[in-house]
Structure 1
Amino acid sequence: MGFIHRVSSYLRKDRFQVPPQDERIGKIDEGALSILSAFRREGKEAFVVGGCVRDLLMGRIPNDWDITTSARPEETMAIAGRQGWKAVDGGGRRFGTVIVVVYGQNYEVTTFRREVYGQDSHRPEEISFSDTLKEDVSRRDFTVNAMALDRDGVLYDYFDGLSDLEHKRLRTVGNAADRFQEDALRLFRACRFLGQLDFMADSSLVEGMKSAFPRVSGLSLERVRDEVDKLIVTSHAARGFDLMVRTGLADCSCRAKEKGIFTDIPILPELSHLVGLPQQKEFHKYDGWYHTLAVLEASKPVLVNRWAAFLHDVGKGMPGIRAVRKGKLTDYGHDTKGAEMARGILTRWKRPTPFTDRVVWLVENHMKFHYFANVPEADGLKWIRSMARNKVFSSSRDMAEAFVQMTDLGNADIIGCGKELSDTEGHSAFGRYMEKLALSMPVSTHELHYGKEVPEALGPYVAEGMQNLLLRVQNGNLENTPEVLHEAAIRYKRRRDNEKRNT
């Protein structure tokens, strides 16, 4: 049965007793168990619910614990008070959530509720309390997130979530079109869960998506960006992005508000042309899209690395880039075009400038890195000196970090070609060499190794003199040591004094 053990005691159609040997009940957090026990003593129903139950059943350690209860918010506050626990209103009358602090940990305890959706693309228009667990879990998004577990290890599964876990299948609670129409953000959550859980989307889920696409225009950029960022660093991000792009969800637009005015923000339409884009079989096993997904998953699960991997070949196949030369498919200049497209995407997504600049640099230079790593005659030091002089990076450490990220992208690009002989050691060795060079190359005068005697020696020419010393070190004409810099400063002042006298 894989990672799920078959439940042996069938109590009701939707209620199971977790076998004692499974020991999952022992993995429930101590604070959550204390809350469940306290509510039972007070005659109230209480269950851990949602993602934490899913994670327990998958053998994972939950990041947080959500609790649902028949108790109303004021009753929850009172029960917590009698236990000596701190309780904070987390939405109280409207949302039914109380944050209970037990053993220094926060637990969200929410009253059973029902929701009615209206014009808003994400938030319910009306929330009211309900009296049953089944009605509460009926409002949830996916079957694997709609299971609940009580203090004794009884599993409540009204929508066959356990079966979906066994089959690694993502399915909505009830009709998929209805669930997505209620909350369009669930479209992106579906993509994220595929990447997070390594699941496949049920056909009913896929079929129910498109009817909700018009609702995406009402979602905020911040919410969409948050879901996409969570997806892109998952272990199986390719699954989620494949669903997003192939269904056309990536071609939709959300919105951003600035100075009271909403602006449409296209999500990721630039990726659609990669699907089925042929590549030269001599170098690539996959088409442009599958190559992109393979590179994505081969890269380090860090935002900068993953976004660079995701967009590294976005320029391929574009007009003026795709060509056939001597019977072979080529995409000369796709790195430059891709960098331009990447900047457009990340700018409209309102990414911080340093983040955007770094991803763009990685996309723009990934082919150059391949060339330098493969051609012994290529001068890596010359490349480093040029970037230092042109202040491409704010510091030598920043430049070194960029080459660590570039090495990761280069290696992932090799792996993503799908060829049997995908040796990355040469690229790794070259990347380490470039990192070392970058760390030794000053980008600003602050990184020159000098003492207070150097500015003193330069006298009235300190500003221009320090820049002169920096340039000479970058060009390899001076060593970056206190003694050498001091002597050079003395000579510089002497020369400038002579020039002044002869003017």
Structure 2
Amino acid sequence: MEQARLIVKALADAGHQAYIVGGAVRDLLLGKSSQDIDIATSASADEIRQAAAAHGWGTVEVGAAFGVIIVVVGETTYDVATFRAETYGEDSHRPEQVQLGVSLTEDLQRRDFTMNAMALDIDGNIIDLFGGRDDIAAKLIRTVGNPYERFAEDALRMFRAARFAACFGFRLDPAAQAAFSPNLARVAGLSVERVRNELQATLIAPWASVGLKIMMVTGLLAAECRNTEQRVARSVPILPELGRLPGLPQNARYHKYDVWTHTLATVDNVPAAAALRWAALLHDVAKGWPGVRTVNKYGQPSDPGHERVGAEVAEQILLRLKVSSAVTGQVAWLIRRHLILPVPEEKKVLGWLRRLARDFRNIREFRQQVDQLLELHRADRLAGHTMPDIETLDRVKELVAAICRQVPFYPGQLSISGKEIAARLGTGPQVGKFQLNLLERIQTGELANTRDSLLAALTARLKRQPVSNQD
């Protein structure tokens, strides 16, 4: 913030109006640090560059048409923008016309929500023309002016409203919520990348379920956006698969809530990592599907195989939303295995870990996914299960930690290297085969993972079969 104030002062000293604006002012009132600090000024792009150059700051031009210049102070960048007004047209997100050189009032008036439409001057005074400070105190998300017009201008603002609710735990102004429905058709013009970014930011926020509820009840999740490749646009469903979950019953013997309520609680219960939150959101997505939903002999709903079908559905969803392949793979893996947990006995847990280890290349990836799987198990159990049995889960978790400290699962964990083995067995596939043999024997307790023990095993191997060098 102090460096931003230096930019404001430099512009003011050069005879221009300048203010810190937007989210940074909101975060200041909330007592939060701000990652991005924006500055609005009466100065033109050329005048911004001149003021920066006079202080030895670098500049980068990123949006001349919008009057936006990035000013670089040290290693930190700041968006400095000329006061502007905007007129929207057919595009669902970008303005059709931009008018530069307007007043501060007009610049603030074009913004989305009152809490984002305040300015901070060089003396620390807050300019609040639309009641943003009061709305923050009331924990209310309210648009600047007519909500129908704000959402018609930029349909992404509806997703941003849900995201802000998830970030701050605020409620949405009823008038704003009522304006979603008549503007849902505008979502079709939004890029899938922008929608995905808002969804993921909502998912990893502290009050994720609050934002997800808004997206569900307003119809955002059932809407479609677009994907454009090689100048050809096609419609992309956002998350209509979740639409069947509200009110979908579960077996009352094991579950207190319907599937959607349980899903939201699971999301809130897991740590705020993208893969975990996506897995929590989609772990029961296949419940209620034709071919999955059945009725058991007691007349209760049941969904055998929903973890397998759900993993496939989740992968399809994340691929169309262009979620990274790494996250997509992690999510599908977690969902496919979210029902299976071994009994808390060392032999059973070791066998379970040996099977899981085949899916990964190294111990780091393996431990990360196993730890996330246990987190998903915990969140799932605490999200309305009648018999969560967290004690058993904790015992399994303790055994996992103890086994992973003592037992190797990958060749790189062995106390002798592949190079040492190759020096005596010769290079070729026999090295990898011997490493796998060592791992199996250590895991079954036949060998200790010590240098002496493994070298003795190597010597015994050489006595049974001579060296075969395939260089």
Match of 2:452 in 1: 483
Which of 400, 424, 433 in structure 1 is aligned with 2:390? 424
Match of 1:72 in 2: 44
1:45 to 1:348, Cα distance in 2 relative to 1, 3 A: same
Match of 1:18 in 2: none
Q: Is the 8 A contact 1:296 1:412 kept in 2?
A: yes
Q: Partners of 1:436 and 1:185 in 2: how far apart?
A: 48
Which of 115, 123, 131 in structure 2 is aligned with 1:144? 115
Determine helix, strand or coil for the equivalent of 1:368: coil
1:463 to 1:265, Cα distance in 2 relative to 1, 3 A: same
How much has 1:405 moved relative to structure 2?
A: 0.6
Q: Is the 8 A contact 2:216 2:243 kept in 1?
A: yes
Q: Is the 8 A contact 2:60 2:69 kept in 1?
A: yes
| 1:398-444 superposed Cα distances (whole Å, 9 cap, x missing partner) | 2222111112111111221176x866343233123224434655454
Match of 1:354 in 2: 326
**Residue identity matched to 1:292:** T
Determine helix, strand or coil for the equivalent of 2:337: helix
| 1:183-236 superposed Cα distances (whole Å, 9 cap, x missing partner) | 121121111111011111111111111222222222222211111121111100
Q: Partners of 1:392 and 1:399 in 2: how far apart?
A: 8
How much has 1:115 moved relative to structure 2?
A: 1.1
TM-score (normalised: structure 2): 0.90
Match of 1:16 in 2: none
Which moves more between the two structures, 197-206 or 470-479? 470-479
Structure 1 residue runs of 4 or more that deviate by more than 6 Å after TM superposition: none
Determine helix, strand or coil for the equivalent of 1:379: helix
The within-5 A match list for 1:14-413 is 29-82=1-54, 84-91=55-62, 93-102=64-73, 104-325=75-296, 326-369=298-341, 372-373=342-343, 379-388=348-357, 391-413=358-380
| 1:252-277 superposed Cα distances (whole Å, 9 cap, x missing partner) | 22222334433332211111111111
Percent identity reads 39
Q: Is the 8 A contact 2:118 2:126 kept in 1?
A: yes
Which moves more between the two structures, 69-78 or 289-298? 69-78
Q: Partners of 1:142 and 1:97 in 2: how far apart?
A: 21
Match of 1:24 in 2: none
Q: Is the 8 A contact 2:421 2:431 kept in 1?
A: no
How much has 1:148 moved relative to structure 2?
A: 1.3
1:457 to 1:34, Cα distance in 2 relative to 1, 3 A: closer
Q: Partners of 1:91 and 1:272 in 2: how far apart?
A: 40
**Residue identity matched to 2:304:** Y
Q: Is the 8 A contact 2:196 2:322 kept in 1?
A: no
Determine helix, strand or coil for the equivalent of 2:85: strand
The within-5 A match list for 1:409-488 is 409-417=376-384, 424-438=390-404, 440-451=406-417, 452-459=419-426, 462-471=428-437, 473-474=439-440, 476=444, 477-488=446-457
Unmatched 5+ stretches in structure 2: none
Which moves more between the two structures, 251-260 or 483-492? 483-492
Which moves more between the two structures, 255-264 or 64-73? 255-264
| 1:304-363 superposed Cα distances (whole Å, 9 cap, x missing partner) | 111111111212222232222213232222212211211111222233333222211111
1:448 to 1:111, Cα distance in 2 relative to 1, 3 A: same
Q: Partners of 1:254 and 1:279 in 2: how far apart?
A: 31
| 1:162-202 superposed Cα distances (whole Å, 9 cap, x missing partner) | 22112111111122222122112112111111101111111
Match of 1:23 in 2: none
How much has 1:482 moved relative to structure 2?
A: 3.3
TM-score (normalised: structure 1): 0.85
Q: Is the 8 A contact 1:85 1:100 kept in 2?
A: no
Q: Is the 8 A contact 1:453 1:486 kept in 2?
A: no
Q: Is the 8 A contact 1:459 1:493 kept in 2?
A: no
**Residue identity matched to 1:458:** L
Determine helix, strand or coil for the equivalent of 2:20: strand
Q: Is the 8 A contact 1:399 1:439 kept in 2?
A: no
Match of 1:13 in 2: none
1:478 to 1:465, Cα distance in 2 relative to 1, 3 A: farther
User: Number of matched residues?
Assistant: 463
Determine helix, strand or coil for the equivalent of 1:140: coil
Which moves more between the two structures, 29-38 or 310-319? 29-38
How much has 1:139 moved relative to structure 2?
A: 1.0
Determine helix, strand or coil for the equivalent of 2:370: helix
How much has 1:140 moved relative to structure 2?
A: 0.7
| 1:74-120 superposed Cα distances (whole Å, 9 cap, x missing partner) | 222223333x2414143464111222334553222211101122232
How much has 1:481 moved relative to structure 2?
A: 3.5
Q: Is the 8 A contact 1:315 1:334 kept in 2?
A: yes
Q: Is the 8 A contact 2:188 2:235 kept in 1?
A: yes
Determine helix, strand or coil for the equivalent of 1:110: strand
Q: Is the 8 A contact 1:278 1:287 kept in 2?
A: yes
Unmatched 5+ stretches in structure 1: 1-28, 499-503
Which moves more between the two structures, 153-162 or 334-343? 153-162
Which moves more between the two structures, 231-240 or 124-133? 124-133
**Residue identity matched to 2:382:** I
1:496 to 1:124, Cα distance in 2 relative to 1, 3 A: same
Determine helix, strand or coil for the equivalent of 2:338: helix
Q: Is the 8 A contact 2:250 2:300 kept in 1?
A: no
